[in-house]
A and B are shown apart, each in its own frame.
Chain A
């Protein structure tokens, strides 16, 4: 089965006062239907910029997609006109962002906001539209949906608001769902409910999903594959279990070791030394080299290429030789 989305050698640059920042620097990946790709990395590593590039919503005029291709069901989104993109956003690619309060308009009722995409995608009106909108809220487990349509965003809890955003994102339903830290602003038990809901929706509509997070626990729970980003590049990608059990890149390994585990008050954590990279002043060669415990001469001179280390596991690190 061909992938729903295929990103090939994507480059997005930000032109700033301090010079050109390569926010996305040669990113490639695929996601198939019913598959979830986790995109992890620190702030500034390019996770969100990658996803904004897919739907061509990068902040203009500073950001520019300068190369690569984004194939959605085989069609390149980067060559489409803005009008074509507008028809496509929401209909083919749904998005859920971190803060539901900024995704929803505070002065319009929930009903008005949920009806908008439904009428656009399905051409419904009047009673049928109202019923479909209520059905959509019911499908994201919002109790008494008909009454909730009359409510305003501030009258709902954070978890309920994010459900409304989820309902709007699957109104079409789309082929690809991009979830950018959708549970970061939610409480733990509400987060667990929301993750369960996303899995259900994915199953029901056969969605391909890109899940951006910095929480590796969430990745282990709901993702099939994970891509680790550092300074605009994917430094390692592969099946979740494989990556977590035998990470190939020193950054992935350090990230996994630096997280406290439940229960054991074992001495010190393994910290990653140094500070996150300054994207405007990246070193030549591997961007992780200044913080890497295994750094070699070659790492500082030459950026490592993609090296396949096992079935489906690819890394960018000179420690490995092509398998």
Chain B
């Protein structure tokens, strides 16, 4: 059953310059992106900086209004929802964990108050009820109950990320947006947090939108992977299929550049030339054609639609 259905999601940022603030163009940060996320499943969103993955997550979190498109959550169109009650319900059901647990926790608040804050805002429970819930949440993320009385600086990076996860879980959300949740952590701690997130999903049936540039971590965590390039979805499908047998030339290059530890298949992988073009002035046709090693004549003029190919969707003229 799908929990989140995103269709034709688009976000354009006008670029203004000069004294009059005249619009000089549009950054097409997210351009007509569609995907669905099932209950209890993880969708991995990958791509390089500027591809629109963080903007996509902001649109889903309701932190930015989209230019066009539809977001349906549990069957309800949340953008069209006029009543504040429906929007409030949605905001409670969707929580986030960000990259840097040193920035996302208020250094002057005790951990107990940090975790209880969503409860204070969204629920009419009393102080005793909240204390009980905080203890429960600390236990769920593997921290001792006495952690509630301490301040964030008394914890290591991995423990802080556990606190951020506990706060995200406070309202029993159905969807958690994980924006680079382990990138700021030490290598030896990453596996602990990834394991915790997987365990929580099994236990609580929560869905994840997992955003990361660590492709191996995304492949490990996700059921489905969506690959973005300059605001467009270029490939979408089963995680293992995309990680092991990428079809789109960009996905291929990306996963080759992810450098898996592998001595046996030392094939001369194609290193992409050039840089990501400016999203202010993206290339015509297929946006990847300026860097693509397999470019065809029609790539420069015709934009390839997402088509079904070997059990996934690919936007490429090769198929």
Residues of A within 8 A of B (CB): 42-43, 157, 159-160, 187-193, 196, 214-218, 220-221, 241, 244-245, 254-256, 258-266, 268-273, 275-276
B49 at the A interface (CB under 8 A) = yes
Chain A residue numbers with a CB within 8 Å of B213 are 187-188
B318 at the A interface (CB under 8 A) = no
Chain B nearest Cβ from A193, distance in angstroms: 6
Residues of B within 8 A of A (CB): 48-49, 156, 158-159, 186-192, 194-195, 198-199, 213, 215-217, 219-223, 239-240, 243-244, 253-263, 269, 271-273, 275-276
Total of A-B residue pairs, C-beta within 8 Å? 127
Given contacts A188-B257, A190-B48, A258-B188, 17 further A-B contacts (CB under 8 A): A157-B275, A188-B213, A188-B215, A192-B256, A192-B257, A214-B187, A217-B259, A220-B259, A220-B261, A259-B216, A261-B216, A264-B240, A268-B199, A271-B195, A272-B188, A272-B192, A276-B189
With A261-B216, A276-B186 as contacts: A269 and B48 at CB distance below 8 Å:
no
CA distance A261 to B244 in the complex (A): 11
Q: List 24 A-B contacts (CB under 8 A).
A: A43-B186, A160-B275, A187-B213, A188-B258, A189-B271, A189-B272, A193-B271, A215-B259, A216-B261, A217-B261, A241-B263, A245-B263, A254-B188, A258-B187, A258-B188, A258-B191, A261-B216, A262-B255, A265-B239, A269-B191, A271-B192, A272-B189, A272-B191, A275-B159
Chain B residue numbers with a CB within 8 Å of A273 are 192
Residues A189 and B48 in contact, CB atoms below 8 Å apart: yes
Residues A220 and B253 in contact, CB atoms below 8 Å apart: no
With A188-B215, A262-B243, A270-B191 as contacts: A193 and B273 at CB distance below 8 Å:
yes
Beta-carbon nearest neighbor of A143 in chain B: B274
Residues A217 and B260 in contact, CB atoms below 8 Å apart: yes
Closest 10 CB pairs of A and B: A217-B259, A260-B220, A258-B191, A187-B48, A192-B257, A271-B191, A269-B191, A272-B188, A42-B186, A263-B244
Residues A196 and B261 in contact, CB atoms below 8 Å apart: no
Residues B216 and A218 in contact, CB atoms below 8 Å apart: no
Beta-carbon nearest neighbor of A291 in chain B: B188
Residues A193 and B189 in contact, CB atoms below 8 Å apart: no
Chain A residue numbers with a CB within 8 Å of B215 are 188, 262
Residues A269 and B275 in contact, CB atoms below 8 Å apart: no
Beta-carbon nearest neighbor of A230 in chain B: B188
With A187-B49, A188-B213 as contacts: A262 and B258 at CB distance below 8 Å:
yes
Chain A residue numbers with a CB within 8 Å of B156 are 275-276
Residues B219 and A265 in contact, CB atoms below 8 Å apart: yes
Chain A nearest Cβ from B203, distance in angstroms: 13
Beta-carbon nearest neighbor of B223 in chain A: A265
Residues A260 and B219 in contact, CB atoms below 8 Å apart: yes
CA distance A139 to B191 in the complex (A): 40
Beta-carbon nearest neighbor of B48 in chain A: A187
CA distance A196 to B268 in the complex (A): 11
With A159-B275, A260-B216, A263-B240 as contacts: A189 and B188 at CB distance below 8 Å:
no
B217 CB contact (under 8 Å) in A255, A260, A266, A270? A260
CA distance A262 to B276 in the complex (A): 24
With A187-B49, A192-B271 as contacts: A42 and B188 at CB distance below 8 Å:
yes
Give the interface centre of B48, B187, B188, B255 by most chain A CB atoms within 10 Å: B188
CA distance A245 to B263 in the complex (A): 10
Chain A residue numbers with a CB within 8 Å of B258 are 188, 217, 262
Chain A residue numbers with a CB within 8 Å of B187 are 42, 214, 255, 258-259
CA distance A296 to B263 in the complex (A): 33
A259 CB contact (under 8 Å) in B261, B269, B276? B261
CA distance A193 to B272 in the complex (A): 7
Beta-carbon nearest neighbor of A219 in chain B: B261
